[in-house]
Structure 1
Amino acid sequence: MNTPTPGALAEKILSGVGGSENIESLTHCATRLRFQLRDGEKVDQAALDALDGVMGTVPQSGDRFQIVIGGAVAGVYSDLMNLPSMTGGATPRPPSDAEVKAEIRAKGRGRFAWLDNFFEYLSDSFRPLLGVLLGASLIIAIASMLDAFGLVDFRSADKSATWVFVDSMWRSVLYFLPIMVAYNAAKKLKIDPWVGATVMAAVMTPNFTGMIGSKTPGVTTTTNTTLGTSESVAHVFGLPMQLNDYGGQVFVPLLMVALLALVYKGLKRIFPENVQMVFVPFFSMLIMIPLTAFLIGPMGVWAGNGLGTGLSWLNGNAPIVFAIVIPMLYPFLVPLGLHWPLNALMLVNINTLGYDFIQGPMGTWNFACFGATAGVLLLSVRHREKDMRQTATGALAAGLLGGISEPSLYGIHLRFKRIYPRMLVGCLVGGVIIGVLGGVNTKAFAFTSLLTIPVFDPMIKYIIAISAAFFTSMALVYFADYRTKEERAQVNAERDAAEAAPGDKAVVPAQTVAADDRELVAVGAAAAATGASAGTVAKAATAAGTPVADEAPVAGKGLELTAPVAGRVVGLGEVEDPVFASRALGEGVGIEPADGRVVAPVDGELITVADTGHAFGIRTANGVEVLIHVGIDTVKMQGKGFDVRVAAGQKVSAGDLLAEVDLAAVRAAGHPAVTLMTVLNTADMTSVEPHTGQDVTAGTPVVTVRR
């Protein structure tokens, strides 16, 4: 594959984002170019994704746009800034009269910035809960499968203590979801998250919920004989307060925290800094707990019930329309993070109606998405595309087993414009089938994967619909290809040329093996990093008097990458950054840090040290390229809280101190502190094996790399 020269790549990127006149500002972190554009509509995303040297693109709200480059980002940034048309460093130029008028008109229309902020608020309030929601849904799925096979009556009113206990394992997530949402929402709005959680917990204590339907003095309960429902009202300080069970409610904490943020920040302006720790939480609780109990709580319940009733009416009166709209909408909502409001409504339906009717049609979108990924996987096997095969395999496994669509979307579908139209046909087919067959319901919140099929009723209708969606998308993508004929011809020609190239493989001589007896991977990886062939590297080594083997690498246990920080090791799929989660920057791990000491995970040369201190790139003697990235979006901190102890070009050994980081400052700035470590040239390795789910100290092996 012919990689463009750095200057040529910079020119193509500049053209792809609409030229220098469309760039308001340009910065970079350790792996990405970050553009603030004047008009995001001018970006040719397909052309940018097709560039050699570009690993992916990430459109964002507010005309922001990211281009993932990898370890070479600093060089590409420098080339961009040195282009003649970028004179002035992409700083804002004085707006023209027409632009000033357009800006005024845009402000008059709102420019939808408030809408972006609203959906970001919703998304960030739910996204961190993805793991526990998925865990709860899988517990429900297992119990439902046992129920389907007649081994246990999952829905029985008189279940044994064993199954009551199993119920508590998943109900804990759904019942206490309001407290979790309140915590995340408060964190998003940059106030003390524990205050948000405490206010919500106050109306969920046994003392509070125990008054519902009780004979407590001051509590009256009335029964609606027509509807068969009852309502309890407590008279507190002489004022009537409607009592509700807020378990599983999501609108209440979202409304409450939005008001709490105003109160909390207002109190911080009133009280001196030396007494804020005591009086700001105290008065926040004193104000917000009564407001939530008397006003916000009932309002949130009414709003949720109203929305659920409206959707239920549409589902009951126009089921085909409803069943088609939901799966056709989701492919556009999920990439933007706008699907959380519908997910919230699912929880409302379960709490108010006892079942949900949105998840069934939504499942057809998920399986259409996974079907498109399966089509790409089959094509990658057929055309011997190693990189795409690895990407599609991981994305398909995450989808079918976990119900997670983001790896498919970010890793594949959004990169190739031919996939979406074919995937939408699968969504349409699945939605029509569910609508014609009369709808599908579920009594549990579940991620739509193979494992959660038993929670849907009627199950056979659901299976027919998702199967049709899956195989329709898969067939359309496979037979039409996700590349055009011209692109396919070019890619296959490049593949054939690469396969026909000399395949001499060289290894590092035995005497250079580190003292801890780690296996060193082949020098061919270094060739990939520099653009030379393995044979070229071998010849150079021989000319220098270094003995080089002619055959395959030495067999061994693999190169071990150790933890750069102490903490809890998690998979990349669990982190909040879609680029790392999609493995666009290679396979690796995330570590929730226990302290701020960041050390080298392997012996090698520091090829990148970010000026802001949040990222480091290390290349081993045999070409394994390792990225250490401290926190998410911490480039925005401009180095505050990062004490860097090394410089680019320096040789380091595993365990050497790279930086000391003030984790409290990172979290106070609203950034996740998770430290990420990936192998940037994963595609050149036989395997990169992360070891997750463990608590480690710095220096513990967490990733095994094999050639």
Structure 2
Amino acid sequence: MATTKDMAQQVLDKIGGSSNINQVWNCATRLRFKLKDEDKVDIEKVKNIDGVMGAQFSGNQFQVIIGNRVSDVYEEIDNMVGNQGDGNSEDKQGIVSSIMDFISGVFTPILPALAGAGLLKGLLAVFVTAGWMSPKSDTYFVLNAIGDSIFYFLPFFLAVSTAKKIRTNEYLALVVAGTFMYPTFMESFSKMSEGGPKSLDFLGLGFFNIPFASYATTVIPIIISVIFLKYVYNAVKKVMPSALQLMFAPMIAFLIVIPLSLWLIGPLGNGLGALLAGAFTWLFDFSGLFAGLLIAGLMPLIVMTGMHYALAPIAITSLTTIGFDNMVGPAFLISNAAQAGAALGVAIVTRNKDMRYLGISSSLSAAIGITEPAMYGVNMKMKKPFVLAIISASLIGAFAGWYGLKAFTMTGLMGVFAIPIFANPSGNMESLIVAAVLYVLSILLACILVVIFRFKEEKPNELITEEVNDNHIANNNEESAIDSKATTVLSPLKGKLVPLSKVSDATFSEEIMGKGIAIEPEENKVVSPIDGQIMVLPDSKHAIGIKGDNGEEILIHIGIDTVSLNGAFFKDHVKVGDHVKAGDLLVEFDREAIRSKDIQTVTMIIITNTMEYLDVLPINENGEIFEGEHLLSLVK
């Protein structure tokens, strides 16, 4: 597995370098880029980077799916990009894309806090329901304060993340949130039911009445207010002398923004949130079966587009206004479990050892709530398992909607560890038990469907391997002996065969890039081993990537660390996009000059899409080979 630094550098190289980046950030499993020129992205090369699960354009974002290591890769990219990734994008984008991008940027930074606090609240509900802890104990008081803090003071967290997203001062935004949450307003709101005043007559004008309202756990009011703050603050600074801006610009912005937010934006935001929550409540009341089927079934497609971040404020508002979430939490839990089950089914059915390992590992990842490795690396790649996972989630989701499964808090990752959030704080264990059962059923149903409607694999890997090898021996390694399902790769140069395991570079010797063979060259040229298109040819000219007409993807890497020569001693005869025939001259190089620099010239021929084949079989691993001789067999 490539290091996070190597992955970061390769991603940057394939998307046009750091100078092509307007903005970069990450969510739980993927890197998200806003780019200046999307045409500079070579999406196929990005997908082929070791450790990358997939890549796609969504709206005006370019997304690279990494999985569990995404935060580490992001840190490396952030260090490499520096200030170049902070510029404003001038690209036009659709309204929906803009909204999704904005919500994603606001909620992604606070996901770890939501995940930890939400899980703690769920576990406390389980402990109380099971009688393991008294809700009146001092221990419960402290733990509940920890779990409840982010939800109660959510306006503070959203003020900071919103300010960072729209690039305005976070501390000014915190003043807005602090006023919303000021104890006097909160206490006055709580006393309204006791006959206390319902509003403040600001400025004594009679119409500027600021209503008392609770903004604890709210989402929409603070986000809109911080956006309003940015434009007012910037406008004030434009008309104010620079010598006065430090003190007077913030003060004037506060005097304009905060009263208007308390008077108009806050109440309207609360009303909008209640309206959204009510709409989804009505949908489930009208037909919980249909609503559960639709939302759970579509959840993988929603995740693929990044629109799942738009569900976060709806879930939070629902928890605040009606005390539970019967939409986002249940649908996510069931959908993620179905993806885990489908990947597990692939691991059971496949005869490809690499795919079996990936199926098991990605299934475990999806089981805890990180589904991209299973979705992109296994289920979508095999196609049918992805469809079966959606069908499974739809069926289980329909039952959950009909039953009325509810989550009573929220957490960032909806997997097995999120089941406690379905524990009813009132002490009823039924919802928790149903959630656990549906989680298991989602995994089992998807897994069973994949096993039943299995993708066709005509022969086990070991059997085909033995047959091909036996044919090689019986027919003195002649091409006519190769199994009809094998694709032939010819030798691109003359030299001595070297097993990959003996190459000094671990990237090749450990088959991280894929299976293949190495050759110590005895001539100074490389020809094409297949008919195909040139996909990769860096300025250093030390490596050539070819996509064959039959789908094979081959990397010819001349020497080890030859990239450091910056193209010296190399001459290319093709360019990216050229279509070549087997035997066409690709690159010439001076092997003696390269060796004089203490750089090895051993050349690796790697099948970079190895996982699409049952096996990659060298005809021989020792001895001499001539240009154009049969080198590898790729067995479907």
State the TM-score, normalizing by the size of structure 1: 0.54
Q: Match for residue 446 of structure 2? A: 473
Shift of 1:304: 0.9
The answer on 1:310 being equivalent to 2:287 is: no
Judged with a 3 Å threshold, the aligned counterparts in structure 2 of structure 1 residues 356 and 609 are, in CA distance, closer, same or farther, namely farther
Cα distance, 1:300 vs structure 2: 1.0
After TM superposition, give the deviation of residue 56 of structure 1 in Å.
5.3
1:177 equivalenced with 2:161 (yes/no):
no
1:233 positional shift: 2.3
Q: Cα offset for 1:373?
A: 2.5
Distance 1:495 1:409 in 2: 32
Q: Distance in 2 between matches of 1:377 and 1:30?
A: 41
Q: Using the alignment, how far apart are the partners of 1:179 and 1:263 within structure 2?
A: 20
Query: Which residue of structure 2 lines up, in the alignment, with residue 145 of structure 1?
Result: 126
Q: 1:242 aligns to what? A: 211
Return the alpha-carbon distance in structure 1 between the equivalents of residues 126 and 565 of structure 2: 51
Match of 1:135 in 2: 116
Structure 1 counterpart of 2:408, one-letter code: K
1:48: Cα distance to partner? 8.5
CA contact under 8 A between 1:54 and 1:67: conserved in structure 2? no
Which residue of 383, 390, 397 maps to 2:364?
397
CA deviations 1:124-180 (Å, max 9, x no partner) are: 110111111111122123223323432124xx4xx1221011001111111122221
CA shift at 1:305, angstroms? 1.1
Structure-2 separation of matches of 1:461 and 1:68 = 32
Offset of residue 122 of structure 1: 0.8
Task: Report the counterpart of residue 525 of structure 1 in structure 2.
Answer: 509
- Contact preservation (8 Å) 1:36, 1:65: no
Following the alignment from structure 1 to structure 2, what is the Cα–Cα distance between the partners of residues 369 and 330?
11
Counterparts of 1:26 and 1:448, CA distance in 2:
31
**1:58 pairs with one of 55, 58, 68:** 55
Residue 453 of structure 1 is matched in structure 2 by 419
Tell me the secondary structure at the aligned position of residue 244 of structure 1: coil
1:320 lines up with 2:289 in the alignment: yes
TM-aligned CA deviation for residue 348 of structure 1 = 0.9
Counterpart CA distance in 2 for 1:275 and 1:392 is 62
Query: Which residue number in structure 1 is paired with residue 475 of structure 2?
Result: none
2:99 to 115, 118, 123: 118
Matched, 1:366 2:350: no
SS of 1:210's equivalent in the other structure is helix
Give the aligned partner of residue 226 of structure 2. 257
Which residue of 2 is the match for residue 198 of structure 1?
Answer: 175
Q: Is the 8 A contact 2:503 2:509 kept in 1?
A: no
AA aligned opposite 1:133: L
Quick check: 1:233 aligned with 2:217? no
CA 1:209–1:463 in structure 2 vs 1: closer, same or farther (change >3 Å)?
same
Aligned partner of 1:95 in structure 2 is none
Q: CA distance change for structure 1 residues 524 and 497 in 2, over 3 Å: closer, same or farther?
A: farther
1:211 pairs with 185, 188, 206, which one?
Answer: 188
**Aligned ranges 1:431-442 → 2 under 5 Å:** 431-436=397-402, 438-442=403-407
Q: 1:528 to 1:191 in 2, by over 3 A?
A: closer
Partner of 1:84: none
Q: Quick check: 1:307–1:345 contact (8 Å CA) kept in 2? A: yes
Whole-Å Cα distance in 1 between the matches of residues 251 and 438 of structure 2? 53
Question: 1:375 Cα shift?
Answer: 2.3
Which amino acid in 1 is paired with 2:415? S
AA at the equivalent of 2:440: S
The 2-side partners of 1:496 and 1:605 are apart by 38
Question: Counterpart amino acid of 2:147?
Answer: W
Cα pair distance change 1:491/1:432, threshold 3 Å: farther
Structure 1 67/172 Cα, relative in aligned 2: closer, same or farther at 3 Å? closer
Asked if the contact 2:406/2:431 (under 8 Å) is kept, the reply is yes
Match of 1:13 in 2: none
Give the residue type in structure 1 aligned to 2:294. Answer: V
SS in 2 for 1:58: strand
Match of 1:464 among 437, 444, 454: 437
Query: 1:120 deviation in Å?
Result: 0.7
The question of whether the paired residues in 1 share the 8 Å contact of 2:50 and 2:513 is answered with no
Q: Percent identity?
A: 22
**Mapped contact 2:367–2:416 kept (Cα < 8 A):** yes
Question: Aligned partners of 1:468, 1:126: CA distance in 2, in Å?
Answer: 30
The whole-number CA distance in structure 1 between the counterparts of 2:443 and 2:19 is: 37
Flag the 1:268–1:317 CA change in 2: closer, same or farther, 3 A. same
Which residue number corresponds to residue 443 of structure 1? 408
Matched with 2:389 is 423
- The CA distance in 1 between the partners of 2:508 and 2:38, in whole Å, is 39
Query: Could you say which residue in structure 2 is the equivalent of 1:337?
Result: 306
* Unaligned ranges ≥5, structure 2: 1-13, 21-30, 67-91, 423-429, 473-496, 523-559, 567-596, 599-607, 612-636
Q: Deviations over 1:569-625 (max 9, x none)?
A: xxxxxxxxxxxxxxxxxxxxxxxxxxxxxxxxxxx9695899xxxxxxxxxxxxxxx
Q: Structure 2 CA distance, aligned partners of 1:114 and 1:523?
A: 44
Over alpha carbons, which structure has the higher Rg? 2
For 1:68 and 1:451, locate their aligned partners in 2 and report how far apart those are by CA, in whole Å: 23
The within-5 A match list for 1:261-660 is 261-273=230-242, 275-358=244-327, 359-379=329-349, 382-385=351-354, 388-389=355-356, 391-401=358-368, 403-436=369-402, 438-446=403-411, 447-456=413-422, 457-481=430-454, 485=457, 505-506=501-502, 525=509, 533=517, 607=563
Offset of residue 254 of structure 1: 2.1
Q: Are the structure 2 counterparts of residues 293 and 207 from structure 1 closer, same or farther at C-alpha, using a change threshold of 3 Å?
A: same
Q: Which runs of 5+ in 1 are unaligned?
A: 1-24, 70-110, 215-219, 224-229, 509-520, 541-603, 611-649, 652-679, 684-707
Shift in Å at residue 267 of structure 1? Answer: 2.7
3-state SS in 1 of match to 2:16: strand
Mapping for residues 14-29 of structure 1, pairs under 5 Å: 27-28=16-17
User: Are the aligned partners of 2:115 and 2:410 in contact in 1 as well (CA < 8 Å)?
Assistant: no
Q: Please give the alpha-carbon distance, in whole angstroms, between the structure 2 residues aligned to 1:161 and 1:303.
A: 38
Q: Are 2:298 and 2:390, in contact at CA under 8 Å, matched by a contact in 1?
A: no
Report the Cα offset of residue 248 of structure 1. 0.9
Write out per-residue CA displacement over residues 236-259 of structure 1, whole angstroms, 9 at most, x where no aligned residue.
333321112211111112222232
1: CA distance, partners of 2:308 / 2:514? 42
C-alpha contact 1:426 1:468 (8 A) present in aligned 2? no
Shift of 1:49: 9.4
CA pair 52-275 structure 1, distance change in 2 beyond 3 A: closer
Preserved contact between residue 145 and residue 454 of structure 1 (Cα < 8 Å) = yes
Q: Deviation at 1:471?
A: 1.6
Secondary structure of the corresponding residue to residue 467 of structure 1: helix
CA contact (8 A) 1:360 1:439 kept: no
- Amino acid paired to 1:282: M
> For residues 491 and 476 of structure 1, do their structure 2 counterparts lie closer, same or farther at Cα, with a shift above 3 Å needed?
farther
Partner Cα separation in structure 1 for residue 562 and residue 222 of structure 2: 46
Distance 1:607 1:341, change over 3 A: same
> For 1:65 and 1:149, how far apart are their aligned partners in 2?
46
Aligned residue in 2 for 1:167 = 144
Structure with the bigger percentage of helix: 2
**Per-residue Cα deviation, 1:469-498 (whole angstroms, up to 9, x for no partner):** 2222222334445x6659x98999689989
Deviates more, 1:465-474 or 1:172-181: 465-474
Q: Contact 2:105–2:161 at 8 Å: present in 1 too?
A: yes
Residue aligned with 2:409, SS: coil
How many residues end up aligned between the 2 structures?
448
Quote how far apart the aligned CAs of 1:340 are: 2.1
